[in-house]
Amino acid sequence: MLVQARTGKISLKKYHYDIGRSEDGDCPHCLRTPETVWHVLTVCPAWKDLRAVFYIAVEQGIDNIVAVLNDQKYAKSITNLMLCTRLLGQFLGVEAEQVEPPAPDA
């Protein structure tokens, strides 16, 4: 899942639109905003509560999605958040885990 998220080749509407499998790539919650990994993990209001549960603290200054996706301390949180959104049909049978908050940078 993380590899798909890093490459953008993940089963979100923007990718489906890019490969011709969807008439539009827009987020169903935020009309006229592409549904991308960055959008789900950082700004979509539909997933704000999940971001809080999984400690993806974009409100605290995380604005570089590539850095976040490549940071090992966020890997489990990102994976669990994406599982809980149920946006990725190929992972519907996988259960999310409890996660601890990422350790603060030293």
Q: pLDDT tens-digit profile of 69-79? A: 888 878 888 88
Picking from 84, 103, 55, 70, the residue whose alpha carbon sits closest to that of residue 2 is 70
Contact of 69 with 6, CB cutoff 8 Å: yes
Residue-range domain boundaries for the chain: 2-89
Q: Which tens digits make up the pLDDT trace of 28-47?
A: 999 889 999 889 988 899 99
Q: Is residue 93 left, alpha or beta, with left meaning phi > 0 and alpha meaning psi from -120 to 50?
A: alpha
Give pTM, 2 decimals: 0.74
Residues of the chain with pLDDT under 70: 55-63, 90-106
What backbone phi and psi angles, to 5 degrees, belong to 24? -145, 165
In percent, the amount of the chain with pLDDT more than 90 equals 20
Q: Percent helix, strand, coil in the chain (nearest 5)?
A: 50, 0, 45
What is the chain's length?
106
